[in-house]
Copies of this chain bind each other. A is one copy, B any other.
Amino acid sequence: MADYSAPLKDMNFLLNHVADSRGFDQIEHFADYDPALLSAVLEEASKFAGQVLSPLNQSGDIEGCHFNDGVVTTPEGWIDAYRQFCDNGWLGLALPEAYGGQSLPRFIAAAVHEMWLSANLSFVMFQALTQGAAEILLTARDERLQQRYLEKLVTGEWATCMSLTEPGAGSDLGNTRTRAIPQEDGTYLISGQKIYITYGEHDLAENIVHLVLAKTPDSPPGAKGVSLFIVPKYKVDESGQCGALNDVRCVSIEHKTGLHGSPTCNISYGDDGGAIGELVGEENRGLEYMFILMNEARLSTGQQGVAIGEMGYQRALEYSLERTQGRDALTGETNVLIARHPDVKRMLMGLRAQTTALRALSYQIASRLDLAELASEDRAAHLRFVALMTPVFKAFSTESGNLMAGTTIQIFGGMGFVEETGVAQLMRDIRVTTIYEGTTGIQANDLVFRKIQGDQGEALKELVVEIEADFAKYIALDIAGGEKEMLAQMLGVLSECADYILQQGKAGRESLLCGAVNFLELMGVACCSWMMMRIAVAAHEQKAQSSDTVYLNNLIALSRFYFAHFTPKVLALHKTVITADAGIRDYLIED
């Protein structure tokens, strides 16, 4: 399998010319960053991804993780790559310098993170966990825990994992059964079973800091009675050093269809009387804290769709520029490169267009997250944007990632079905991304009910205004083609759906639930179309000052392609959203 080569040109273009940087120049924290620094960071990351992580991707898939009596061994090369990853400072890229991080803006970290995910998704799954855990500790403002854990986490000396799911409680965290009994010394005794714990046990770090959801005695029922605890694999003494083994045991690891190099653990806490845990923040606020990590993980998961799309595109492009087959349908020439067949070109452009649009969206979200934290004004609006986009990006990008893995295999033909070429791994690896960190259905409900109805459509209306502004810039360009009408229709459909959702009262709730996933897809297509308009506008502007005409014209062609091959889906999705309960109400599932 060929190595990964980061799409540096696209990344630089999107970060410099497309992602929203309104007000960045007024942020003191960003004073040091300019396109040259950005480019240098991306260049270094690209080397690391291509030279260290990517070569381990297929071997890790083939070897997988090993489990033996509670001990998990990662694939060959994992330990060394982890050490290098941490030593080079990649783990704490966007975490505070005070704790060993590099305090880089998120919009740069997002680009770097995508490289890791493309190069070796299984390997790097620990990073979003560390980023999220650190943010929980920073938010919960518990100085003692910060002192004990933050630096060790940021430097990678210790790893972390997120222990949410239980055998009976997958998506429904309010149903948590793991118990936490307070002790006289202020610690808690934790006992319970957790499943599907990514990197819950492994051999990469000296200690593993488990973040565990559990219920204290007499806590309120449901989600409001869940607390968050730190349960280290090795107990931590007062000097901050690892002590004896805690009552934490990995019972087994899952035999999964993909992500073989990432151990998915079943963990038992407290088999011998109780694992020592420390409360994070306040009791009963566990879900609130966990959602800090969860939102982080959702954005990282969304980037997994982009990353697999990119990897698929690179592999498919390379293959289709080597493989000859058949006759050119227009010139009659025989044994032509398959990239010259219009249907193959359509698939290749589809991969690049969807990946590019989603990548632009991920940078847009990341830069707004920076602005939400640091901007001198409009922080609330930036945060609303991020909140609205998180479910859309997470779900639409991963659903797209699955389709793109399929398209990659399709371009490879029979060779795609054979494991040696490595593209079937893309399909297997990406498959769970529409499930973990909240299924597509859960993201859709979050979008429709919490993010739209919950704020009376404010964030959505702000978004529509933004898209309209970029649409006005796009139609002012001198670009041929009838796609402008399609984009106008898209804006109309988006507003109609917004009104429809906001008008539904209690009686319309079932219909909304039946069409929520379709609406989320509509939002995904609309937001990607928006990004493609911005890309076309930026490419057009750059043409005045750059001689890289072929590249810039290709970006414009790619946007037109998106408007013809992706944007029209909103027409169908709109119909489905407004008639979503047809037949569903009358159908008896147990017939």
Contacts and interface: CB of A to CB of B under 8 A. Distances in A.
B559 A583 contact: yes
A582 B483 contact: yes
Given A343-B517, A439-B410, A587 B434 contact: no
A418 B572 CA distance: 33
A570 B165 CA distance: 40
Nearest to A483: B582
A230 interface: no
Main secondary structure of the interface of A (DSSP, over half): helix
Nearest to A173: B326
Contacts of A432: 414, 417
Contact of A590 (B321, B434, B587): B321
Contacts of A414: 165, 170, 195-196, 432, 435-436
A376 interface: no
Contacts of A582: 481-483, 560-561, 563-565
Contact of A410 (B417, B434, B579): B434
Contact of A343 (B317, B416, B513, B554): B513
A543 interface: no
A426 to B, nearest CB: 10
Interface string A576-591: 1001111110111111
A129 interface: no
A435 B418 contact: no
A255 B165 CA distance: 34
A591 B550 contact: yes
Interface in A543-575: 550-551, 553-554, 556-565, 568-575
Contacts of A342: 510, 513-514, 581, 584
A561 B584 contact: yes
Contacts of A168: 324
B402 A406 contact: yes
A486 B575 contact: yes
Given A435-B413, A483-B582, A571-B575, A256 B343 contact: no
Interface string A425-457: 001100110111001110011000000000000
Contacts of A591: 550-551, 554
A327 B442 CA distance: 12
A330 interface: yes
A417 B571 contact: no
B561 A343 contact: no
A554 B427 CA distance: 35
Interface in A215-233: none
A427 B418 contact: no
7 contacts: A329-B510, A339-B589, A343-B514, A414-B436, A556-B583, A560-B583, A563-B582
Given A342-B513, A414-B432, A414-B436, 5 more contacts: A330-B509, A483-B582, A560-B582, A564-B579, A568-B571
